[in-house]
Structure 1
Amino acid sequence: MNKQRLFLFVPLIVFAGMAIFFWRGLSLDPNAMPSALLNKPVPAFELPVLPAPENPPGLMIANQELLKGRVSLLNVWATWCVTCKQEHEFLNQLKAQGVPIYGINYKDNDEDAKTWLAELHNPYVFSVIDADGRLGLNLGVFGAPETYVIDKAGVVRYKHIGDVNQDVWEKTIQPIFNSLK
């Protein structure tokens, strides 16, 4: 009879275990997804640059030319990404402040991307075309937008998932960015 009474507590024990598991899961930050590339160089690539008035058609760029020599941001964006449009104005503000931002136009239509930058202004020094998503895959991109802080040696020092806005910039990214200068 004692064994039967013990079995009555099994559902209670299972429920308590699951409650602890779910409580822990709800307390995690969904934007805190560590990057496998943290403190590693940006993956090697050679991709075409999205044509713009300052960039001739057919221009190819490699990561060594693009990212070394100064602290910069690497921003993954696309015209199909609603959140990218929300952050775009702030990226233009950062450009006006002298922050170098390089773009990765991720799995997008080139004509749509050119129109987007013409209409909303271009915050990027260059924006490479990652049509097949291979660079994004090598970076560990979950989706757009994502922004990486890259040091002077071309090493990823921080990854932010989601839009970059005034609050994210001031509290998180800018202190890291400034410490690397």
Structure 2
Amino acid sequence: MAKPRISILMILPPLIFAALAGLFLYGMVREDPDALPSTRIGQQAPAMTVTPLGDSAPFTDADLQAPGVKLVNFWASWCGPCRAEHPILERLSDEGVTIYGINYKDEPEKALRFLEELGDPYAAIVADGTGRTALEWGVYGVPETFVIDGSGKVILRFAGPMTTQVLEKTIRPAMVAAR
């Protein structure tokens, strides 16, 4: 009696299934499955193509490279989650944290009204009317906040609205690491 031959076609489907199952499992158990990867972490903050917003003092690439930890927050008046995270930005500003705001694809009048209504936590603010700067920074959508160290290097990117839990477990530890 002849031995049955095992064909590669018989082995290939279970191997592909096992590989895919392994990838899916890794995606479910990694440290923070909601975190979006960023190629900017560990690199200098990208150059900005922005315009001033109202009479507010703008900031420049040089400001991002100045000594001290700072946050860069992309936001818009039409963004509900931006409104939800605003009290936390105000609290950080009251604590003396330098926060630079980049208003994303917004009408200047509406953006200024948003700040007039909710308060202005930003040390300086600019407008990214075309979205070019957001694209350079790798922004998926607003709000997004970046922690920048004293040499202008991106330490952390957080996509989504900042909550108290995010502030304490993600943003503050990154600020400490940026010192």
Shorter-chain TM-score bucket reads 0.7 to 0.9
Q: Secondary structure at the match of 2:171?
A: helix
Report the aligned-residue RMSD: 2.6
Gaps of 5+ in 2: none
Q: Give the TM-score of the pair, scaled to structure 2.
A: 0.83
Write out aligned runs for 1:61-140 (5 A): 61-140=59-138
Alpha-carbon distance between aligned partners in 2 of 1:126 and 1:26, rounded to the nearest angstrom: 39
* Equivalent in 29, 48, 53 of residue 50 of structure 1: 53
**Structure 2 CA distance for partners of 1:70 and 1:11, relative to 1, 3 Å:** closer
Cα distance per residue 1:39-71 (max 9 Å; x no partner): 21111225222225xx2xxx6542213552221
Q: Give the TM-score of the pair, scaled to structure 1.
A: 0.82
Percentage identity across aligned positions?
38
Q: Does structure 1 residue 24 correspond to structure 2 residue 22?
A: no
Write out aligned runs for 1:151-170 (5 A): 151-170=149-168
* Structure 2 counterpart of 1:150, one-letter code: I
Gaps of 5+ in 1: none
Deviation for aligned residue 1:11: 6.7
Alpha-carbon distance between aligned partners in 1 of 2:164 and 2:140, rounded to the nearest angstrom: 22
Deviation for aligned residue 1:148: 0.6
Deviation for aligned residue 1:174: 1.0
Contact 2:72/2:146 (<8 A) preserved: yes
* Structure 2 counterpart of 1:51, one-letter code: G
Alpha-carbon distance between aligned partners in 2 of 1:123 and 1:134, rounded to the nearest angstrom: 23
- Corresponding residue pairs, total: 176
* Structure 2 counterpart of 1:163, one-letter code: P
Deviates more, 1:116-125 or 1:75-84: 75-84
Cα distance per residue 1:17-41 (max 9 Å; x no partner): 5444433333343432222111211
